[in-house]
Amino acid sequence: MQGCICPHPPLLIPEVGGTARNKIASTVSAMERLAASVGSPETIVVISPHADDFGSSHAVKTAPRLHGDFGRFRCPEASFSYDNDVQFAELLLALAGDYRKLSLVPDDGDVLDWGVLVPLSFMNPDRIVSLSVVGPYAEHRTLGQLVRRCAEELGRDTLFLASGDLSHALVHGAPAPYDPRGKLFDDEIVSLLSVGDFPALTRIEPVLLDGAAECGLRSFVALGGFLGDDALIEPEILSYEGPFGVGYLVARFGPRPAADAEA
């Protein structure tokens, strides 16, 4: 079982980013290296902070075919579609109620948000599973643990992809008002994840979170639940940059595929 953290700026899509994509060349390169290193997992489970909100419940999409495009970013021609791993989604729903009272509901919509589409555009998955976040941070670890249990019961070679950006307040003119706590938050996240210390993510000082204006931490906590002890196997920060005032982190965790490990 492998896991990764991916940013989701639409600028990573060539049709959207155009020449501005050159300003995040480190992220582009890291995403390409990540895609090569994870091999070809049977299922990619993606959790996105921009999925539809179902209140206090996580949601998993259940339609057999999922799709989306970048029309909201004036590039409808950039479109993608994927087969949903419906069996995986159904097992998640079946087990969730008895798994530490985790609230998980079906989402029969078939449209994917950019938090899913951007990182998957670098991958070539056979099937995907799409999950949403909720408000509280800590309970996402339970969701990740449930995903791991389902992957093991199904015997699926699974990659858990945590989609999310770090602080949106790194510089003046960023999407959120500038706050010096943004860089402190990003530095703390990169430091913790460089050694695979996912449990510490839920102990970050609230005052730091208040100023960071982040969108990825819940996804990262879920990834930690999925990885368990595998989080400590070869944690690797592939890139971090924030030229537009938003922190973009690319990282991978867990055992490498056999072919990659032997290379």
Contact partners, residue 163, CB within 8 Å, separation at least 6: 6, 7, 8, 46, 47, 48, 49, 115, 116, 118, 119, 216, 219
3-state secondary structure of 228: helix
Contact 8, 48 (CB under 8 A): yes
pLDDT at 257: 78
The secondary structure of 236-250 as a DSSP string is: EEEEEE-TTSS-EEE
pLDDT at 241: 98
- Distance from CA of residue 38 to its chain's centroid? 14
pLDDT at 98: 75
CA distance 54 to 23: 35
**Domains of the chain with bracketed CATH:** 2-255 (3.40.830.10)
Residue 214's CB is within 10 A of a number of other CB atoms, namely 25
pLDDT at 85: 98
CA distance 123 to 16: 18
pLDDT at 20: 95
Contact 92, 57 (CB under 8 A): no
pLDDT at 167: 98
pTM, full prediction: 0.96
Split the chain (263 residues) into runs of 10 and give each run's mean pLDDT.
97 97 97 96 97 95 98 96 98 86 94 98 95 95 97 97 98 96 98 98 94 97 97 96 98 82 49
> Which helix (H) or strand (E) element contains residue 107?
strand 104-107
pLDDT at 101: 76
CA distance 31 to 12: 9
pLDDT at 256: 83
CA distance 229 to 72: 39
CA distance 152 to 16: 38
Contact 165, 243 (CB under 8 A): no
pLDDT at 259: 57
